[in-house]
Amino acid sequence: MLEAKHIIGGEIYYTCEGIDARRNEFTVRLTMKIYRDCGSDGADFDNPAEIGVYIKSGTQNFNFSFLDKWTLQSRKTLESYNPCVFTPPNICVEEGVYVKKLTLPILDRSYFIAYQRCCRNTSITNIVNPGAFGAAYTLEISPEAQRTCNNSPSFKNFPPILICRDLDINFDHSATDADNDSLVYEFCTPFAAGGQRGSGDLPGDPRACDGVTPDPSLCIPPFQTIVYKAPFYNQQFPMAGTPPIVLNPQTGQITGVPTNIGQYVVGICLKEYRNGVLLTVTQRDFQFNVINCRKNINASIISDSVMAGDQFIVNACGDKTVVLTSTSTIESSIKSYEWEFDLNGKIETFLGKSVSVVLPDLGSYTGKLYLNKGDKECSDTAQILINVFPGINADFIYQYDTCVAGPVFLSDRSLATQSTIREWTYLPEANQMMAGPDASYIYKTPGKKNVRLVIKDNNGCRDTATKSIQYYPVPALLVLNPSTFGGCQPVDIFFNNLSFPIDTTYRIDWDFGDGRHSDQISPTHRYTSEGKYSVRLKIVSPIGCETSIYYPDWIDVRKSPEAGFSCNPEKLSNLVNTVQITDESRNAEKIHYLINDLTALYQSSPNYTFRDTGIQTITQIVSRGNGCADTLVKRVDIEPIVTFFMPNAFTPGTDGVNDRFNGVGIMRWAKDFRLSIWDRWGGLIYSTEDASKSWNGQFDQTGDPAPPGVYIYTVSYTAPRGQEVKLKGYVTLIR
């Protein structure tokens, strides 16, 4: 399993934008590209990235000049798509690009520009303790390059994200140079910079030289280099390969065949010369991911069988011209199809996804299908064997009674002159199959029947014969299944016709015995009158064959009563709550009623007094001795009525006669009651929300007696069904 953490490569290059001779300065536009595992849980790109600018004297003497911060300009995911190789889903590389313009004094010493960052992947194969440190990406600009406003070379391609074990590497790692200077490529040992200090696993100062983001002003070159795992890997041979992985110093081409899967850090130094004078040195490193590739391309053809070793067998029977069609995948990755066949010692070649090959005679012929022939990574081959056998001819005859439904008899008449027929398969209709040279079949439906016979001989040759049978007989037996054989009028009966073969092309005539007919195969019929009815069914096929059946007195329809009654009075209330029920049924022999499905009344026209208000149900059930019955339900409304009356005078005193002022009536269902009494000046004397209470003639029931005179009263309440009632009147208080 390949593992991704963070940084996997980088490089720095520049273009010169001019020299200011008066100031003795030159201006460069610097570009840095950093590569990271985009699917990892490691850190994102630094933004800004801290770049150290150093002055180099000699080979190992560096002085810090200044720190520059570069802003991330763009980012993108690099595609590793190889249409012929399965790509593991956890490999993903993202490129971050930084661009910065700098104006620098022209010196007689080199500028050394460096970016340091931790960390590398812990799963790297070819170096010691890979997750403990990161990398440094550097660019050296010589005095000659400064003086001549030289442009540094830039690499044309980022190395392939995935390479296949045991397949050739042929990667162009060259660079382009605007000044056409001489370029020299060599493997070199990548730098090791930074460390894990400051991360969650190792607290401390992340800007220390062994920290995650080293301080360029304190952590100055020369940088340490990684340590290869000896003796298997070193600077010149960073990967295992046979032949070895090598770098052409003039062309920058990397070639060889990797033999071990894993992740490998590879460093490349690019030196630029002009007239033998060193101008720039760019040190780049990157990570190769070597995997066991699983091809997505697979050669296959339409064939009769596939033998061990993926040899496709094609049998040609009686025809020397064979059409071969590729079914290879993935089609979008296939650029060419090339077929080769040995035809009696002569190799014939055919091109195309589908080809037609004319074979000389009966016999066996070998061949191959090449996909992308010559492409080492994206190719595949299919082995082909074509057998040309003598032909066979399928044939059969059939017999059946055209007018009366029965079996269709099938008899083989196939011909095989130089082989033996071993298999016979009849297919009389969809999803039906019969084996053997002779067979019989009973159809459930009529119509045009296309019958196929497939034969196969001892060579595996097949042939097919198809014949059409016009199958329109009438059923040998009419089978009818009514849903019931009688009932109380009116009765609906479904006549289920189970006879076969019939369909809508047949003429159907049902006679139900009551003067009505139907042309449906399985109709539903309603009998409305009592009596016994005979039923007849007649069927005529499209070719004129006829059959019929007659059932005398088959259906028995019994007389039904009809419920009916009336109520008087029609409007009822709590004041008038007795109803007279009058029977109006017909043909009934027994009658009874249910009140609200609870109380039973057995008189034909009873009286009933309701004890409650609201919607009540009266159900009449009538029946006859033949088992027929009928029911009628009526709903009556017992309206709750409220009454309330006020007197016009009262004489409060102690004689016990007419001493209190109160209303009388039926207030059982009233709501929101309120009684108020006012004097003639508008003063409230008494009020109550209880209809059963009365005024005793005193102020607020407990104060001084109210003087004789006329008082105003108001009454309001809500009737049971929501009506708002308001009353207003006068009452005389007499003392």
Q: Residue 596: give its domain's CATH number.
A: 2.60.40.10
Q: Are residues 100 and 246 in the same domain?
A: yes
Q: Are residues 87 and 191 in the same domain?
A: yes
Q: Are residues 382 and 523 in the same domain?
A: no
CA distance 632 to 623: 12
> Each residue of 9-57: pLDDT tens digit?
999 999 999 999 999 999 999 999 999 987 666 678 999 999 999 999 8
Q: Are residues 68 and 168 in the same domain?
A: yes
- pLDDT at position 1: 32
Report residue 73's pLDDT band, with 50, 70 and 90 as the boundaries. very high
DSSP code per residue over 183-199: EEEEE-PPEE---SBTS
296 domain residue, yes or no: no
Report residue 3's pLDDT band, with 50, 70 and 90 as the boundaries. very low
Q: Are residues 330 and 465 in the same domain?
A: no
299 domain residue, yes or no: no
14 domain residue, yes or no: yes
412 domain residue, yes or no: yes
Q: Are residues 20 and 55 in the same domain?
A: yes
CA distance 89 to 84: 15
Which residue(s) pair with 724 in the sheet?
718
Report residue 472's pLDDT band, with 50, 70 and 90 as the boundaries. very high
Domain that holds residue 368: 305-389
Q: How many domains in the chain?
A: 6
Q: Are residues 224 and 322 in the same domain?
A: no
Report residue 367's pLDDT band, with 50, 70 and 90 as the boundaries. very high
Percent of the residues in the chain that have a pLDDT greater than 70, as a whole number: 97
Over residues 82-100, the mean pLDDT reads: 77
Q: Residue 611 pLDDT > 80, yes or no?
A: yes
Q: Are residues 314 and 329 in the same domain?
A: yes
**Ranges 84-93, 190-199, 359-368, 697-706: which has the least confidence:** 84-93
| Residue type present at position 117 | R
CA atoms within 13 A on the CB side of 166: 4
Over residues 701-714, the mean pLDDT reads: 91
Q: Residue 340 pLDDT > 70, yes or no?
A: yes
Of 425 and 329, the structure prediction assigns the larger pLDDT to 425
- pLDDT at position 84: 63
Residue 179 tokens read as: 């000044």
* Beta-sheet pairing, 311-317 with 305-307: antiparallel
- pLDDT at position 427: 97
379 domain residue, yes or no: yes
Q: Residue 376 pLDDT > 80, yes or no?
A: no
Q: Residue 538 pLDDT > 90, yes or no?
A: yes
Query: For residue 1, with 0-12 CB atoms within 10 Å meaning exposed, 13-18 middle and 19 or more buried, which class applies?
Result: exposed
Over residues 283-305, the mean pLDDT reads: 87
Q: Which of 242, 269, 291 is the last residue of a domain?
A: 291
Over residues 268-292, the mean pLDDT reads: 93
Are the C-beta atoms of residues 114 and 137 closer than 8 Å to each other? yes
Report residue 121's pLDDT band, with 50, 70 and 90 as the boundaries. confident
Q: Which of 291, 317, 349 is the last residue of a domain?
A: 291
441 domain residue, yes or no: yes
Over residues 200-214, the mean pLDDT reads: 89
CA distance 669 to 719: 7
Q: Are residues 140 and 274 in the same domain?
A: yes
- pLDDT at position 92: 78
Mean of per-residue pLDDT scores for the chain: 92
Q: Which of 593, 620, 639 is the last residue of a domain?
A: 639
CA distance 40 to 254: 28
Non-local CB neighbours of 467 within 8 Å, separated by 6+ positions: 396, 398, 450, 451
- pLDDT at position 41: 65
**Ranges 195-209, 232-246, 501-515, 684-698: which has the least confidence:** 195-209
Report residue 344's pLDDT band, with 50, 70 and 90 as the boundaries. confident
- pLDDT at position 40: 63
166 domain residue, yes or no: yes
CATH classification at residue 725: 2.60.40
Percent of the residues in the chain that have a pLDDT greater than 90, as a whole number: 78
Report residue 85's pLDDT band, with 50, 70 and 90 as the boundaries. low
486 domain residue, yes or no: yes
Q: Are residues 224 and 268 in the same domain?
A: yes
Tell whether omega for the bond before 330 is within 30 degrees of 0, i.e. cis: yes
Q: Residue 439 pLDDT > 50, yes or no?
A: yes
Q: Residue 81 pLDDT > 60, yes or no?
A: no
CA distance 35 to 304: 51
Over residues 458-472, the mean pLDDT reads: 93
Please tell me what DSSP assigns to residue 571.
Answer: S
Over residues 568-588, the mean pLDDT reads: 95
Which residue(s) pair with 155 in the sheet?
175
Q: Are residues 401 and 385 in the same domain?
A: no
CA distance 664 to 24: 121
Report residue 310's pLDDT band, with 50, 70 and 90 as the boundaries. confident
Q: Are residues 335 and 279 in the same domain?
A: no
